[in-house]
Chain A
Amino acid sequence: MTTPILSRRDFLRRSGVGFGMLGLAGLVGETSALAVGPALTHFAPKAKRVIHFFLNGGPSHVDTFDPKPALLKYAGQVLPNNRITERKTGAAFPSPFKFQRYGQSGIEVSELFEKTAQHIDDIAVIRSMQAEVPNHEPSLMLMNCGDSIQARPSLGAWLTYGLGSENENLPGFLAMCPNGLPIKGSENWQSAFLPGAFQGTYINSQHTAVNKLIDNIRSPHANLQTQSRQLDLLKQLNEKHRQSRSDSRLEARIDSFELAFRMQTAASDAFDVANEPQYIRDLYGNGVHGRQTLIARRLLERGVRMVQLWHGAGQPWDNHENIEVNHRNLAAEIDQPIAALLHDLKQRGMLEDTLVIWGGEFGRTPSVELSGNQSKLGRDHNHYGFTVWMAGGGIKGGTVHGSTDEFGFAAQENPTSIHDLHATILHLMGLNHEKLTYRYAGRDFRLTDVYGQVITPILA
């Protein structure tokens, strides 16, 4: 049975005062019920949570999930459909990586993701994605927030706004990136005109200590016993203060301290991978990506709505030069963690309601990048056609949707916009992308603006 969506006001009234999701009561002057319940959706959701591997910089589709043998034929020649991108490119550049068929579906995947490929029958590969321009900044914004230039809420902000968090002790939406920020920094997980509480919480996953992972999660000045005594006093003072006043905000603030106190221990636990058995830690691997992926699984398990895993600071996948070496190194860092996550989610029964997304802000050119007519053995940005894949909750595994042309330059069959991708993600989460709106500056804004069609062929 489907639950009809309530108005925002009703929704706010019943919303929990959790990390991701609170105090909205205060926003409209309603009394908040301190409950975190099942999310209200437009129809029955297939997925309850999202994990997004963001290969920032732009992974090459023709070297990973979109084989193009025709490039070999044209090696050394300028492609008949060479297009304008950010920089000049020259002749066709055949992939230096071997492709092979995997699984029952027999979908071809390159050696870069040979471990992930073992799960190809759980994966739907969309080979016909299109963005708007071949530049990082607008494409990051488009992929994350649905608009290239203007300040708009990110997908994760929309999801937590629409669905709340299922764990009031943790942020509803986290973005993890080792060792710094991706290009455009926190704009990638911004809340824009949605209340600030929906902004993604950035975690520098380079760190291992929990007090470095979440702001103010521990006091350097008082232990829990001291704090507990302080909060007792605070509560007494606040209760006395409240007696002669009527304002629901006073209660909400009293509750927020209780919640914060509990959060200090709950969050520490969620981020501590030492609590995982050794064989699980081995499964994910010892590197920073293994650890961050394992933390992400612990967070998802605890009810976090969306976790975005960025590859690294800046734009690591932006391999204008020597793509053979660079892509190989980068893929080696995440192939095992991704495969481990898919395996681990499955063995826990979580894959069926967890949506796993893989992709960058665009793909790369099938032609070689030139620097003053010299080949750099790398590829330029390509927004005309690229690959994103999804697995898990509600996805028909072992599917290929759409295609690029013979050489992989542009989407050909079933061109798929980022808005379509967003509409599909919301759909899987039980939300109608045309009805999830927020009134700002006189307009009811959507993640998908006035666009977006659910990609039905990849739905289970």
Chain B
Amino acid sequence: MANLSLYSRLKFGINPTPLAWVVGLVLGFALPLSAKPWALESPVDAPVPVVEGNPWSSQPVDSFVLEKLRAAGLQPSPQADRRTLIRRATFDLTGLPPTPEEVSAFVNDNASDAYARLIDRLLASPHYGEQWARHWLDVARYSDTKGYVYGREENRWVHASAYRDWVVRAFNEDLPYDRFLLLQIAADQLVPERSSDLAAMGFLTVGRRFLGVTHDIIDDRIDVVMRGTQALTVACARCHDHKFDPIPTADYYSLYGVFQSCAEAMVPMGEGENGEVANLVAKNRDLLAKRRGEQMDRTRARLADYLAAQLELEKYPEEVFNQLIDDGDLNPFIVRRWEIYLERQRVGGNPVFTAWHALAKSAPAGYAEVLTRLRSAPASEANPSVLAAFEGTPADMKEVAKRYAEVLKQPEFKAVLEGVDSPCHVPDEHIANIEMYFPTNTIVELWKSQGDVDRSLIEKGDGSTAATILMDRPLAATPRIFKRGNPLTKGEEVPRHFLQAIAGPETKPFAKGSGRLELAQAIASRENPLTARVMVNRVWMHHFGNGLVTTPSDFGKRADAPSHPKLLDWLALRFMESGWSIKQLHRMLMLSQTYQQSSSGENGGRGQQIDPANRLLWRMNPHRLSFEEARDAWLAATGELDLRVGGKPESLFGGKNLRRTLYAYVDRENLPPEMRVFDFANPDLSISQRTETTVPQQALFGMNHPFIAAKAGVLTKDAATMEASGKVRLLYEKLYQRQPTSGELELAQAFISSAAATPAPVVRPSQWTYGYGAWNGETGKLEGFTPLPHFNGSAWQGGDQFPDVGLGWVQLTATGGHPGNDAKHAIVRRWTAPQDGDYQLKSTLIHEPEVGDGIRAFVAHGSRGLLRSTMLHHSKEEIDLPAIAMHKGETLDFIVDIRDGLNSDQFLWAPVITATGSAGTGGDVVGKMWNAEKDFGGDLPTLLSPWQQFAQVLMLANEFMFID
């Protein structure tokens, strides 16, 4: 610590960041030359500056901003117009565009408090909480899934959406921020059982599973709490003292100890589960209890072996990698528990194990002497009952182990075998905490049983009945430093306490349980110099585009100094005085003239020169819509947006998902490419500010994704019967909430006439449909034909994710496809005869892969049944039928299933059907051909109409994507 402080002082004294110097020189206040980074000093309540001749504003925020603008010789920009203001405020607070009606009402509201009332209205909207929850969920590395897990484990979290909805509610209800944090870190100790506030602890528990590696799960929790609430990069101290900030490794392991002393638990909320779920919960609980009991018995029965194993510990890896263990094997984890236990007895001088340790140190030849010495020791040093077992001198340590195993069965030693700290004990905890106690097949069995509960909760419940929390364990751990972060090189023990950088070097160890509640209290405290500043800065960033501190999750020494330190402190103090009200904070910022400035930068010549990054805020920063905002705004423009708040997640582009993008299913293992391409926050890491890239994949999405084309279709539907200029006006109103200029009207008309001059392609009704069903070998008929629900632009399948959660691998493309996972999900390409007549079939069926057992294929007539069948594996076959008599409306099905096993069953099969007309009735179709490959397509219009093309352009324009 001492060295670090000296180092820090030198660093700070000699090499402050240039901006900090400028700030200091311009404003004439000295930089603090203390060892602490500025952010660890308490906020200073500086008086609101009085800026002479300030006609601009009486808002305190503006005075702080103007003071610095003046000092730099800059002027603020004029106020933005009314339409811009309502768009800016509405997107900012709700993530949605205002309706055209809302815009015109506000533009025409001449009352002096119109703007203030607007802000109040928006803050009262249930959609406010959705927008601001998403900002927090970025910090909380929110995901609906656990990331990669072994096959035995369900990979969806049962509690993720409950946590997400809790955050939405917390913002909507303006839950005081200190309480907001307390509940997220320690709700288990603050609210009654079954309280819906238990969901808050998702903050700690929606991280990755890290394949169950405890160190990394804990590291993730330390990181999300410390960067999220304190903007301190404590996780840097995992391997060595923090290189820049006063955070020693000891403090990291202090916090490690807090989380190490907690177990993950799934608990009911509200009424909790009932019906089938409750049964599964009970079944799972009973199974776990049974297996725990068996495991404890097994360890006790193998006592002699576990003791003997202490003499060849090298055979039992300490950091257990995933090693398959049979019932009959010694479990390396339990071997190591015995090691720790015995060591603790040695240090604590437990007389029961004095003989063990003494004999282990000695060669067999010296045993007799050792035992004689021990017999003369008092009972408090060497237990007489144990010594009695060594009347005859044992030959070796194996025998010592055997005799110990025998003697420990006596009632006197019950605690050794049955106490909660016994190495035989398996704690009564969720399988996530205790899997390493069991043999591999039991682990699989227990996870499957837990998975049944999880799936039932996720699929049958509404996502609000279960929370995953942390609970303090009965015995808190005293953590040891892992040298260089390596759990195999353990260093000294450290007490569990709060960061010394904040609480001081004399900080008292946590006294209650794991200390997690005390940790939460130390964070959610007015004495904490960081908590309020960090949140104020986050809120500021989302309003203004950049934080006062540009690294919102790092307030350490390597961060740039705040652009407006006095303002940051002033806001932090007012925030706490307001009872940590985030809504009050929004008002304070949004009612300022600084916020209401124009963003155009038109007259900003000097600003552009002196302060191109606009850190002094001589204008407002334009805001580019996030992915969520853009998708929501497109759906709002079409009028389709489903505004229900809360609930289960839905696949982003799957089915008919018209909900806000907040509710899109976030699978951290398989994030939809659209979300990644549009800079969605990486759900594996706590993200303080999203990167903002401009990449052509984004443009490709806009130009080519079926979603955009479909929305362009919906947008123009209402205007179908309107005359041209009316259509243009309607589109501008829906998308931009304004009227087009005469120049824009002309552009639009010119575009439409030019597009319309291109002959429209003929769209023919398709004779093909795409679905799945089951082949009945006995009747020779297809059963249960069901059309596939989703077309992704190039394939029909179960949903936008492939394979689909429900329908699995079923898929049809222009040239082939893939059968579903079982015989009930054979894939079916169906052709319907347009006229009575004879038809000829020509086709080639190919199954390429060598692996697997191949496929079965059938051609079947709707009423007559099987016409042809085959089995193919790594081969191909011509499937031709010269003449099939069909009546109008009868179907011909091309069916493929997986044969016996699901493995590499993709195939190529694109039949061509020609009308031969020999029956004489199909005269007008004779010679006509239906080519499965060429005819293939979705439900969507094959080509966009000129108006749809125009609407699409407006949807993609910068005016849509950037908010002034």
Binding site for B on A (CB under 8 A): 17-19, 22-27, 29, 32, 84-88, 133-135, 137-138, 149-151, 179, 183-187, 191-193, 195-197, 199, 206, 209, 211-212, 215-223, 225-227, 229-231, 233-234, 236-238, 240-242, 244-247, 249-250, 252-257, 259-261, 263-264, 288, 329, 439-443, 450
Q: Are A244 and B602 in contact (CB under 8 A)?
A: yes
Q: Are B906 and A179 in contact (CB under 8 A)?
A: yes
- Collect the chain A residues with CB atoms within 8 Å of residue B696's CB: 17-19, 22, 256-257, 259-260, 263
Given contacts A134-B321, A246-B604, A253-B694, contact A220 B849 (CB under 8 A): no
One digit per residue, 1 when the CB lies within 8 angstroms of any chain A CB and 0 when it does not, for chain B 927-964 equals: 00000000001101111100001101110111101101
Partner of B943, one of A212, A221, A236: A221
Q: Are B949 and A249 in contact (CB under 8 A)?
A: no
Q: Are A26 and B692 in contact (CB under 8 A)?
A: yes
Q: Are B601 and A209 in contact (CB under 8 A)?
A: no
One digit per residue, 1 when the CB lies within 8 angstroms of any chain A CB and 0 when it does not, for chain B 51-93 equals: 0000000000000000000000000000000000000000000
- Collect the chain A residues with CB atoms within 8 Å of residue B229's CB: none
Q: Are B677 and A196 in contact (CB under 8 A)?
A: yes
Other 15 A-B pairs with CB < 8 A, given A149-B216, A441-B554: A134-B321, A151-B685, A179-B849, A186-B671, A193-B685, A209-B814, A215-B697, A216-B705, A236-B747, A237-B747, A256-B694, A257-B699, A257-B956, A261-B703, A442-B245
Q: Are A226 and B755 in contact (CB under 8 A)?
A: yes
Q: Are A216 and B704 in contact (CB under 8 A)?
A: yes
Q: Are A137 and B148 in contact (CB under 8 A)?
A: yes
Give chain B nearest CB distance to A245 CB in angstroms. Answer: 5
Q: Are B957 and A234 in contact (CB under 8 A)?
A: yes
CB of B727 within 8 Å of the partner chain: no
Complexed CA–CA distance, A241 and B699 (Å): 18
Q: Are B961 and A253 in contact (CB under 8 A)?
A: yes
Give chain B nearest CB distance to A12 CB in angstroms. Answer: 11
Complexed CA–CA distance, A440 and B684 (Å): 13
Q: Are A179 and B904 in contact (CB under 8 A)?
A: yes
Q: Are B695 and A197 in contact (CB under 8 A)?
A: yes
3 smallest CB-CB distances across A and B, nearest first, come from A442-B233, A23-B694, A260-B699
A-B contact pairs, 16 of them (CB 8 A): A134-B321, A135-B322, A179-B904, A179-B906, A187-B148, A195-B691, A196-B691, A197-B677, A220-B938, A230-B949, A230-B952, A240-B744, A244-B602, A247-B622, A253-B699, A442-B556
Identify which of B178-186, B189-197, B205-213, B454-462 touches chain A: B205-213
CB of B813 within 8 Å of the partner chain: yes
Interface residues of B in 232-264 (CB under 8 A from A): 233, 235-236, 239, 244-245
Given contacts A29-B613, A187-B148, A211-B794, contact A250 B944 (CB under 8 A): no
- Collect the chain A residues with CB atoms within 8 Å of residue B219's CB: 150
Given contacts A27-B693, A229-B754, A442-B554, contact A212 B850 (CB under 8 A): no
Complexed CA–CA distance, A216 and B697 (Å): 8
Give chain A nearest CB distance to B55 CB in angstroms. Answer: 25
Q: Contact size class for B?
A: 35 or more
Given contacts A195-B691, A196-B679, contact A442 B700 (CB under 8 A): no
CB of B682 within 8 Å of the partner chain: yes
Q: Are A135 and B321 in contact (CB under 8 A)?
A: yes
Given contacts A86-B323, A197-B693, A230-B949, contact A215 B700 (CB under 8 A): yes
Q: Are B942 and A221 in contact (CB under 8 A)?
A: yes
Complexed CA–CA distance, A88 and B941 (Å): 59
- Collect the chain A residues with CB atoms within 8 Å of residue B673's CB: 215
Q: Are A254 and B602 in contact (CB under 8 A)?
A: no
Q: Are B669 and A216 in contact (CB under 8 A)?
A: no
Given contacts A196-B693, A221-B709, A442-B554, contact A263 B700 (CB under 8 A): yes
Partner of A84, one of B315, B599, B706, B743: B315
Q: Are A253 and B958 in contact (CB under 8 A)?
A: yes
Q: Are B958 and A217 in contact (CB under 8 A)?
A: no
Complexed CA–CA distance, A338 and B706 (Å): 38
Partner of A329, one of B324, B694, B850: B850
Q: Are B693 and A22 in contact (CB under 8 A)?
A: yes
Interface residues of B in 840-899 (CB under 8 A from A): 848-850
- Collect the chain A residues with CB atoms within 8 Å of residue B754's CB: 229
CB of B698 within 8 Å of the partner chain: yes
- Collect the chain B residues with CB atoms within 8 Å of residue A88's CB: 324
CB of B227 within 8 Å of the partner chain: yes
CB of B632 within 8 Å of the partner chain: no
Q: Are B959 and A237 in contact (CB under 8 A)?
A: yes
CB of B558 within 8 Å of the partner chain: yes
Give chain A nearest CB distance to B369 CB in angstroms. Answer: 36
- Collect the chain A residues with CB atoms within 8 Å of residue B223's CB: 441
Given contacts A241-B957, A441-B227, contact A25 B694 (CB under 8 A): yes
Given contacts A197-B693, A442-B558, contact A221 B944 (CB under 8 A): yes
Closest Cβ neighbor of B216 among chain A residues: A149
Give chain B nearest CB distance to A43 CB in angstroms. Answer: 27
CB of B317 within 8 Å of the partner chain: yes
Q: Are B695 and A245 in contact (CB under 8 A)?
A: no
- Collect the chain B residues with CB atoms within 8 Å of residue A216's CB: 697, 700-701, 703-705
- Collect the chain B residues with CB atoms within 8 Å of residue A255's CB: 694
Q: Are A199 and B938 in contact (CB under 8 A)?
A: no
Closest Cβ neighbor of A22 among chain B residues: B695
One digit per residue, 1 when the CB lies within 8 angstroms of any chain A CB and 0 when it does not, for chain B 615-641 equals: 000000010100000000000000000
CB of B563 within 8 Å of the partner chain: no
Complexed CA–CA distance, A244 and B80 (Å): 13
Partner of B703, one of A19, A227, A254, A442: A227
Give chain B nearest CB distance to A425 CB in angstroms. Answer: 24
Complexed CA–CA distance, A12 and B942 (Å): 41
- Collect the chain B residues with CB atoms within 8 Å of residue A229's CB: 751, 754-755, 949
Q: Are A233 and B684 in contact (CB under 8 A)?
A: no
CB of B676 within 8 Å of the partner chain: yes
- Collect the chain B residues with CB atoms within 8 Å of residue A441's CB: 223, 227, 233, 235-236, 553-554, 685-686
- Collect the chain A residues with CB atoms within 8 Å of residue B125's CB: none
Q: Are B600 and A196 in contact (CB under 8 A)?
A: no
Closest Cβ neighbor of A29 among chain B residues: B613
- Collect the chain B residues with CB atoms within 8 Å of residue A253's CB: 694, 699, 958, 961
Closest Cβ neighbor of A220 among chain B residues: B793
Q: Are B244 and A246 in contact (CB under 8 A)?
A: no
CB of B608 within 8 Å of the partner chain: yes
Partner of B600, one of A220, A221, A245: A245
Q: Are A218 and B695 in contact (CB under 8 A)?
A: no
Partner of A26, one of B694, B849, B937: B694
Most buried by A among B613, B685, B695, B702: B695
- Collect the chain B residues with CB atoms within 8 Å of residue A329's CB: 850
Q: Are A84 and B323 in contact (CB under 8 A)?
A: yes
Partner of A186, one of B236, B317, B669, B794: B669
- Collect the chain B residues with CB atoms within 8 Å of residue A150's CB: 210, 216, 219
Complexed CA–CA distance, A25 and B703 (Å): 22
CB of B372 within 8 Å of the partner chain: no
Partner of A226, one of B147, B624, B692, B758: B758
Closest Cβ neighbor of B937 among chain A residues: A220
CB of B385 within 8 Å of the partner chain: no
- Collect the chain A residues with CB atoms within 8 Å of residue B849's CB: 179
Given contacts A221-B709, A250-B958, contact A256 B695 (CB under 8 A): yes
Complexed CA–CA distance, A17 and B554 (Å): 29
One digit per residue, 1 when the CB lies within 8 angstroms of any chain A CB and 0 when it does not, for chain B 523-558 equals: 000000000000000000000000000000110101
- Collect the chain A residues with CB atoms within 8 Å of residue B944's CB: 221-222, 226
Complexed CA–CA distance, A35 and B459 (Å): 50
Given contacts A253-B961, A442-B244, contact A27 B213 (CB under 8 A): no
Given contacts A186-B669, A216-B697, A442-B558, contact A27 B691 (CB under 8 A): yes
Q: Are B679 and A22 in contact (CB under 8 A)?
A: no
Interface residues of B in 201-227 (CB under 8 A from A): 208, 210-211, 213, 216, 219, 223, 227
CB of B670 within 8 Å of the partner chain: yes
Most buried by B among A84, A134, A234, A240: A234
Complexed CA–CA distance, A384 and B794 (Å): 45
